[in-house]
Structure 1
Amino acid sequence: MFDFAAKNCSRPIFIDLFAGAGGLSEGFVRAGFDPVAHVEADPGAAYTLRTREAFHLLRVRGNLSAYDAYLSGQLKRSELYSLAFPSGSNSVINDTIGRESLAKIFERLDARIGARRLDLIVGGPPCQAYSLVGRARSEQKMIGDQRNYLFVYYAEFLRRYRPKFFIFENVVGLLTAHEIDGTRYFDMMLPLFKELGYSIEHKIIAADEHGIPQKRKRVILVGRRGRKGGFFPELEKVSADFLVKDAIGDLPSLHAGKGKPSIISLKKPPSRWLAESGLLAKGGGTTWHVARPHNSRDLRIFKKVVNKWNKNGKRLSYNDLPESLKTHNNRSSFLDRFKVVAADLPASHTVVAHISKDGNYYIHPDNAQNRSLTPREAARLQTFPDDFYFESVSGEPSRTSAFMQIGNAVPVLLAEKIARKLVESWS
């Protein structure tokens, strides 16, 4: 791969638009890129980005003890930020990208970039307007939803900063979402980006084909300034030599409603996959291993769902439940509304933001624990490092906020692989 240091090149700088919790950004940081700014509308995710920036700054300064003190409750968030950002400045711009906000965002970005040349822009607008599920739930099929056109504002950042590359990530539904006249939004994007001087290449990437313990497909669109082709970061497909239990099996056993968001020790030895993944924290601990509570009816259903899979390798249909456990009148669709995250498969089903609503689609495979996944288990499937902490607006732990951020993210290790391949086209 291209070695920036060996070539006496400075580390490429990038901005992350619609950054979320920073899964995409974290992957690029791990590959040697430097984020100059993150732009994110959600205040909770913006705090997560600030806390992660604090981690990286303190790590470089050799002062991770302060970060550990924060995770264990010995430091307040404001105190952590004072240590990490003594000047008060950080990379996070908490604002909604739109017509009214562009000038203000550009002003802040200009100040952070200074005289440097921006190398890369990454990010993907919120996916609700393009997703198949979002369109299915919308009476108007998301037609006319303003989120459909956020790519226009993405293009304004390209127009202003003219980076060498950009990465635009989104759900597979992006390729079919369309206006009322049948025009695909994707067919609006391509000429716009090309008009700005970029050659475009895109592919659908399946995370589970590249060493990620989760079935997750995304469209990755890559733009490069100029008319040169053949620059798409082609990832090598790998045969999974691990199972889902290798990603989550070392975490302490919990019952529903138990655990804590603050730092805990990992007492079980990690799997080989986990040990080699680079996700484990140096101190051997992690956070957000706290299970949501469930009512007794759901816990009884969870038992049946897990038993059927573990004994027969089959999913339980809602109609298979006894009448005493059924509460939904809809008996013809969404029959897989209760689903176990199977420990003996190489990849889980897709972790999405709906996990913040309930855990019925993400039941833990160990019936002795009888619960749904914790945020840390979901984060493991999204390949977030164990020292990655998910924030809320108030600073008080919010499991809902953590789940939402995790479900909306790009798997970190997938982003890292894309980044490492991208530098092969850098010269």
Structure 2
Amino acid sequence: MGLNFIDLFAGAGGLSEGFMKKGYKPIAHVEMDKYASQTLRTRAVYWELVTSGRTNLYYDYLKGLMSREELYSYLPSDHSDIVINKEISEETIDSIFETIDTNMKLLGETKIDLIIGGPPCQAYSLVGRARDPFRKENDPRNYLYKQYIKFLDKYKPEMFVFENVPGIRTAGNGAFFQAMTDDMHALNYELDSDVIDASHHGVLQQRKRVILIGWKKGLNMKFPDLELEKNYYKVSDILDDLPSLQAGESLDRCLYTKEASEYAIKSGIRTMDFVTQHITRPHNERDKEIYRLVIEAWEREGTRLKYTDLPEELRTHKNLKSFLDRFKVVAGDTSYCHTMVAHISKDGHYYIHPDKQQLRSLSVREAARIQSFPDNFYFEGPRTAVFTQIGNAVPPILAEKIAEGISHLFLSRITN
């Protein structure tokens, strides 16, 4: 069918990945972060090489046989500005429009079918508001939805997908969500939204997100049908085939240590015969002792240790009343992991590997797998920046289900 899309506030491209896997054609990814933009560009080259049957060149890059500059030389001239590394603001929006217009002409597109994306979610996060005495009401990111709406007004797509955290519904006592949907209605769009849990759709992570779908009035569309998927797998299915590492050790390119699990194959996560970015952060001896206690408590009783349960000599924080679950094991024997967030870039305490012999937090690749990124998805930038990209992402498997549902809506509209 060849539907095209623009991805706004694209991050590392988790949402785009799902849509491109279903055959959607990107016109532009707009992202302000330098490293996330590099990740988007690297992935854009991957999809270009898939189309031309030359993925061996991409894998040469992953193996370290090719520089990033050489890899980027395989991006055709009509895709050279497909990643727009700019903040979306009053000062930049016109230049972003100009680049997208040029991309459309180069790609032979006369209209935009779909706009996807969502503003940075920290402004609507319930945790973020709890830490802010003003409850984020003064956060300028609350109003980034207005920039999203300007793209709707400019390109008038048939449909759009707006993704964000559940807290967007209650931010400002609900005023922000109401104002946003009122503005969307004013542009002649019908709307429907739902809170979707990724663990119900093939992702081994409990991750709830508001998915708001809009379509032009008169199109006889609806919220896409997202069939629930029963989970027969465990988190260990995406951890156990990776090499053991100690805290601070890294294997940027290595072989798997076990055959792929059924889930790793079925989900499309294990996509090649080697793995990259199995990179860990260092931990001090005190943290490793805490990790040991946290893992043992889970192994012994299936319980989560609170900060106040730790021996006094291991505590360094005076706050003994809030955020008591700051140390948490990613239990391999459960059906899904707790929600992956960008804070994993700070310390990793909330994402402890379940193996007591390793005593570390998750590696970059393990975190990416929990977010359902395929192993051939390469994240650019230093470790902290990569963890941030992963924590902020939409799980590609969930994005793929949304893309598939929207494809069916477009197809039924054509056939009817």
Deviation at 1:230, TM superposition (A): 5.3
Q: Is the 8 A contact 1:198 1:227 kept in 2?
A: no
AA at the equivalent of 1:421: G
Counterpart of 1:272? 262
Alignment of 1:335 with 2:328, yes or no, is no
AA at the equivalent of 1:414: L
Q: Distance in 2 between matches of 1:102 and 1:228?
A: 29
Instruction: Show the 5 A alignment for 1:24-423.
Output: 24-85=15-76, 89-114=80-105, 115-178=109-172, 182=173, 184-228=175-219, 231-261=222-252, 263-281=253-271, 283-392=272-381, 398-423=382-407
AA at the equivalent of 2:297: K
Q: Distance in 2 between matches of 1:289 and 1:381?
A: 13
Q: Distance in 2 between matches of 1:238 and 1:108?
A: 40
Q: Is the 8 A contact 2:304 2:328 kept in 1?
A: yes
Q: Distance in 2 between matches of 1:24 and 1:314?
A: 34
- Taking a change above 3 Å as real, the CA distance of residues 211 and 87 of structure 1, as seen in their structure-2 partners, is closer
Q: Distance in 2 between matches of 1:183 and 1:171?
A: 13
Q: Distance in 1 between matches of 2:186 and 2:254?
A: 52
Q: Distance in 2 between matches of 1:207 and 1:68?
A: 29
Q: Distance in 2 between matches of 1:120 and 1:313?
A: 45
Alignment of 1:20 with 2:11, yes or no, is yes
Q: Distance in 2 between matches of 1:234 and 1:79?
A: 42
AA at the equivalent of 1:154: Y
Q: Distance in 2 between matches of 1:157 and 1:87?
A: 21
Q: Distance in 2 between matches of 1:173 and 1:120?
A: 25
Q: Distance in 2 between matches of 1:183 and 1:383?
A: 31
Q: Distance in 1 between matches of 2:282 and 2:397?
A: 30
- Indicate the larger mover: 161-170 or 60-69: 60-69
- Taking a change above 3 Å as real, the CA distance of residues 367 and 419 of structure 1, as seen in their structure-2 partners, is same
Deviation at 1:62, TM superposition (A): 2.1
- Indicate the larger mover: 52-61 or 38-47: 52-61
- Indicate the larger mover: 238-247 or 58-67: 58-67
Deviation at 1:87, TM superposition (A): 7.0
Deviation at 1:86, TM superposition (A): 5.9
AA at the equivalent of 1:141: R
AA at the equivalent of 1:247: I
Count of aligned pairs between the two proteins: 408
Residue deviations 1:18-69, cap 9 Å, x none?
A: 0000000000011111111100010110000000001111122222222122
Q: Distance in 2 between matches of 1:78 and 1:409?
A: 25
SS at match of 2:330: coil
Unpaired segments ≥5 residues, structure 2: none
Q: Distance in 2 between matches of 1:40 and 1:253?
A: 34
SS at match of 2:171: coil
Greater share of helix: 2
SS at match of 2:192: strand
- Taking a change above 3 Å as real, the CA distance of residues 202 and 294 of structure 1, as seen in their structure-2 partners, is same
AA at the equivalent of 2:140: Q
SS at match of 1:251: coil
Residue deviations 1:270-326, cap 9 Å, x none?
A: 111111111222x32221101111001111110110011011100111111112211
Residue deviations 1:105-153, cap 9 Å, x none?
A: 0000000112421100000000111111111112221112211111111
Q: Is the 8 A contact 2:202 2:267 kept in 1?
A: no
AA at the equivalent of 1:280: R
Deviation at 1:358, TM superposition (A): 0.6
Q: Is the 8 A contact 2:81 2:99 kept in 1?
A: no
AA at the equivalent of 1:21: A
Deviation at 1:163, TM superposition (A): 0.7
Q: Distance in 2 between matches of 1:314 and 1:279?
A: 30
Q: Distance in 1 between matches of 2:174 and 2:282?
A: 45
Normalised to the residue count of structure 2, the TM-score between the two structures is 0.95
AA at the equivalent of 1:145: D
Moved over 6 A (4+): none
Deviation at 1:88, TM superposition (A): 7.7
How well do the aligned residues superpose, as a CA RMSD in angstroms?
1.4
Q: Distance in 1 between matches of 2:95 and 2:19?
A: 26
Q: Is the 8 A contact 2:18 2:396 kept in 1?
A: yes
Residue deviations 1:391-411, cap 9 Å, x none?
A: 12xxxxx11011000000000
- Taking a change above 3 Å as real, the CA distance of residues 86 and 267 of structure 1, as seen in their structure-2 partners, is farther
SS at match of 2:144: helix
